[in-house]
Amino acid sequence: MKDITLHEAAQAYLEHLRTQGKKERTLYTYGQDFKQMEAFFGADRKLKSILPPHVGKFLKSDDLLRLPNGGERAKPTVEKTVRVLRMFLVWAKETGRIDKLPLPKDLPLGRSKEKENPEHADSNTPDAPAES
């Protein structure tokens, strides 16, 4: 597969979700999340060039944590954007667009409350099965 940009991959992911029957409102809000990601990484950035340290910096960036007017984004909004990024990167790996997941080790892969507990951070490897 050719070395695609973040923007191209994001558009392909949104189209994939559309074919999966996601609602237009969901696609719209995910599109807004991708605008934040593109503002940080650059829309023309090669997807394969995004590494765990880059994702880690995004997770601490004003592009994610602040509104355009300088106010703080609501925690649930930030968590949704992080979830969209994680799902997108997993999809990109599963579809051969990237070779490795560029997720920091401390970013939970699933929704398990136990995995969000810092004392369980060592179990957050990409190969670890999601807990129920």
43 Cβ contact partners less than 8 Å away, ≥ 6 residues apart: 5, 6, 7
Helices (H), the chain: 6-19, 24-41, 52-59, 62-65, 75-94, 113-116
Residue type at position 11: Q
6-102 classified as CATH 1.20.1250: no
Q: Residue 19 above 50 pLDDT?
A: yes
How high does pLDDT run on average in the chain? 84
pLDDT of 112 above 90: no
| Both tokens assigned to 2 | 């050719």
Q: Over 70: is that where the pLDDT of 12 sits?
A: yes
| Helix 75-94 and helix 24-41, axial crossing angle in degrees, nearest 10 | 90
Question: Which pLDDT band holds residue 9 (cuts at 50, 70, 90)?
Answer: very high
What does the pLDDT average to over 63-89? 94
Which of 62, 73, 67, 107 minimizes the C-alpha distance to 87? Answer: 107
Whether the per-residue pLDDT at 83 is higher than 80: the answer is: yes
Q: Which two tokens stand for residue 114?
A: 């136990």
Contacts of 10 (CB under 8 A, 6+ apart): 31, 34, 37, 38, 88
Contacting residues for 65 by C-beta, under 8 A, at least 6 apart: 72, 73, 78
Output the six-digit token pair for 54.
Answer: 């880059």
- Percentage of the chain surpassing pLDDT 90? 71
Cα 21 from Cα 8, distance rounded (Å): 20
Q: Which residue has the higher pLDDT, 107 or 69?
A: 69
Banded model confidence at residue 18, pLDDT cuts 50, 70, 90: very high
> Is a pLDDT exceeding 80 seen at residue 28?
yes
Each domain of the chain, given as residue ranges in start order, spans 6-102
